[in-house]
Amino acid sequence: MEKFPAVILAGGAFRQRFFWREKTPKCFKEVGGAPLVAYAVAAARHSPLVNSVTLVAELNECLLGKNCFRQFVDRFVEPGATIIGSMRAGSKNLGPDEPTLYLCGDMPKVTAEMVTRVVEVCQRKPEADAWYIYCSQANASRAMPAFPHTYAQLAEGTFCGTGVGILRPKVLASPIIGALEESRKSVLGLLGQLGSNFVFRYFFGPKPTLGELEARMSEIFGYRFIGLEALDGELTIDIDTPKKLELVQLAPAS
């Protein structure tokens, strides 16, 4: 099977920290005896379908020097001003058409097996330029019942996003991808990017289908978008608030 490069997003600008006084970027906060980002690094490095690991993070030698996961990283890159900027920075040395795995660096439950399953599913749809990985409410809730998510109700069911995605770096050159980033945590904001018809149908019916969303995204970006369901609810557990960090720290070890 084809192997993909992995880019782990662990940017630590102040806006990505929990409080403005924080000195430690969120992805380097400790969970289960290791910094958050170590789980994504280990998952990517130990997946048999990943051929390289790039870590996009602040290159603070004092911070990174004490972390054992450093040996698993092939390349360190400074983050951009936005998530899209960080994705572009991490993809700089990759081919524009090379399918690339992007992982959020704040997923404490991700494993190599989960990463491998995502890549395997994407490889079955090689015609795409971007593979959006989502998860059902049932599987997300099963992974950690009390963990909050932003859910969207579609014709096929209720779903949320994950901290994993695959795309060809050329998609990042789209001038409108920044607007998608800004609204990623809001169902209404995301629907607004797709058009008023999707907003109306979401609230008044009939609900949009996954196929319709794929077609509209492909039309807007000029690249083929495909949505794929991940069965591992652990991929929806990302730490972007102090409350979520507390929930994970208090959860029984799995």
Q: CB neighbours (10 Å) of residue 250? A: 8
Domain count, the chain: 1
Contact 6, 44 (CB under 8 A): yes
Query: Is residue 125 domain-resident?
Result: yes
Is there a domain that residue 58 lies in?
yes
| Domain CATH code at residue 163 | 3.90.550.10
Asked, for residue 32, whether it belongs to a domain, the answer is yes
Residue 69 included in any domain = yes
pLDDT value at residue 242? 84
Segments forming the whole domain that contains residue 70:
4-249
Residue 254 within a domain: no
In a domain, 167, yes or no: yes
Output the CA angle 111-178-199, nearest 5 degrees: 90
Query: Across the strands, what pairs with 56?
Result: 9, 77
Tens-level pLDDT at each residue, the chain (254 residues)? 799 999 999 975 434 455 545 667 788 888 888 888 999 999 999 999 999 999 999 877 445 555 667 889 999 999 998 899 999 999 999 999 999 999 999 999 999 999 999 999 999 999 999 999 999 999 999 999 999 999 999 999 999 999 999 999 999 998 888 777 766 777 888 888 889 999 999 999 999 999 999 999 999 999 999 999 999 999 999 998 888 888 888 876 66
pLDDT at 65: 56
Name every residue whose Cβ is closer than 8 Å to that of residue 204 and which is 6 or more positions away in sequence. none
In a domain, 211, yes or no: yes
pTM score above 0.75: yes
pLDDT of 254 = 60
Q: In this structure, are residues 107 and 40 in contact, taking their beta carbons and an 8 Å threshold?
A: yes
116 falls within a domain: yes
